[in-house]
């Protein structure tokens, strides 16, 4: 198939439309089980389907969702009434996407570093996923910002894999979300996160260039420049926003339509506040700044639902609230007191 850059750019721009962002509903079977364990729900295929179905049927919530990243199981599932879940997403005015990596594995001869697998057979899987309705895809690589890590081997190996994945996506006219995540699970300060993130992004875009990936037809999904969760002192919201934008200006080509941040373990309000601060303080950036959140959009509705059908309306309200708050943050219009009003 010949690459249609106009079409890729159209989809990428729709994915980062102002006031909207991307719902990451691509939790692996293991991850969704952990989430369900917390709310006392058994992780059966039916329960996973019912949960995602009520999210996609949440009219108020989906107003603020431009795209939904799905897992292999979910893209094939049908709602209780037989409607494919992909069709529910499309009917809500959103774009279906698919996680295509096969997860991280230990990098040989390297301490606590990972390489993301899944390139074998990817070309054929992308053809199938496109047939199932996917118009964009996602591949995640992870890096550790502590103890003099990551190594060049880790950064380079993952950059090459991200670039090969992105090229295969564009060949199939699927927009690649490129997700290099510097993890925030450690005790590192914000300086370490900034140094590692800049290095990771520079190497990643170098490999994307070598692989002939068109920046106009991709989305970047990075971490924010943020202190580690276990750091003694966490950086203020404004500092996170300013440092993040500074690094992006150093590393991301202006041709990229948008940057959709991962939440990476931030609390719901923290993730919203950081995105809002960037959009409020930094105008006229070459790319749009939006969200691609998983837990930061879903923790509240999961808790409200707790596996009970009677709780679905309350869970949908919780989802709609978080989606609306993050939608406001894409324009710098969110304020903390909007959270209190909804409480």
Q: Is 59 exposed, middle or buried (0-12, 13-18, 19+ CB in 10 A)?
A: exposed
Structure tokens that stand for 226 in this block: 């943020």
- How wide is the angle at C-alpha 139 spanned by C-alphas 207 and 180, nearest 5°? 60
Phi, psi of 220 (to 5 degrees): -95, 135
Nearest to 259 by CA among 4, 15, 63: 15
Instruction: Tell me whether residue 105 is one of the annotated catalytic residues.
Output: no
**Torsion on CA atoms 102, 108, 110, 112, rounded to nearest 10:** 40
- Tell me the pairing of strands 114-116 and 104-106: antiparallel
Q: Is 12 exposed, middle or buried (0-12, 13-18, 19+ CB in 10 A)?
A: buried
Q: Which of 38, 202, 221, 249 is catalytic?
A: 221
CA distance 316 to 305: 8
| Residue for token pair 């594995």 | 105
Catalytic residues: 221
């Amino acid at each position: 198939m010949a690459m249609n850059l106009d079409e890729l750019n159209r989809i990428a721009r729709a994915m980062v439309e102002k006031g909207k962002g991307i719902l990451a509903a691509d939790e692996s079977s293991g991850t969704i089980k952990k989430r369900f364990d917390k709310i006392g729900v058994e992780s059966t295929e039916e329960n996973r389907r019912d949960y995602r179905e009520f999210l996609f049927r949440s009219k108020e919530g989906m107003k603020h969702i431009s795209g939904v990243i799905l897992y292999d199981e979910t893209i094939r599932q049908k709602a209780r009434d037989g409607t494919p879940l992909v069709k529910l997403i499309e009917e809500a005015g959103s774009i279906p996407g698919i996680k295509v990596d096969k997860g991280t594995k230990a990098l040989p001869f390297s301490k606590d570093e990972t390489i993301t697998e899944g390139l074998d057979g990817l070309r054929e899987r992308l053809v199938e996923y496109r047939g199932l309705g996917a118009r964009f895809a996602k591949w995640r690589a992870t890096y550790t910002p502590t103890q003099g890590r990551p190594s060049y081997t880790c950064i380079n190996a993952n950059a090459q894999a991200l670039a090969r994945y992105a090229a295969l996506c564009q060949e199939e006219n699927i927009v690649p979300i490129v997700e290099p995540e510097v993890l925030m699970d450690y005790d590192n300060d914000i300086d370490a996160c900034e140094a590692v993130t800049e290095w990771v992004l520079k190497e990643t875009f170098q490999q994307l260039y070598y692989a002939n990936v068109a920046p106009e037809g991709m989305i970047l999904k990075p971490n924010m420049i943020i202190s580690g969760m276990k750091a003694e002192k966490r950086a203020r919201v404004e500092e996170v926003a300013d440092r993040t934008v500074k690094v992006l200006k150093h590393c991301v080509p202006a041709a990229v339509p948008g940057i959709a941040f991962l939440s990476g373990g931030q609390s719901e309000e923290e993730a919203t506040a950081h995105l809002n601060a960037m959009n409020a303080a930094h105008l006229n950036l070459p790319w749009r700044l939006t969200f691609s959140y998983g837990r930061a959009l879903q923790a509240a509705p999961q808790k409200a639902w707790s596996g009970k059908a009677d709780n679905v309306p309350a869970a949908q309200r919780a989802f709609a609230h978080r989606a609306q708050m993050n939608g406001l943050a894409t324009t710098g219009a969110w304020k903390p007191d909007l959270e209190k009003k909804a409480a």
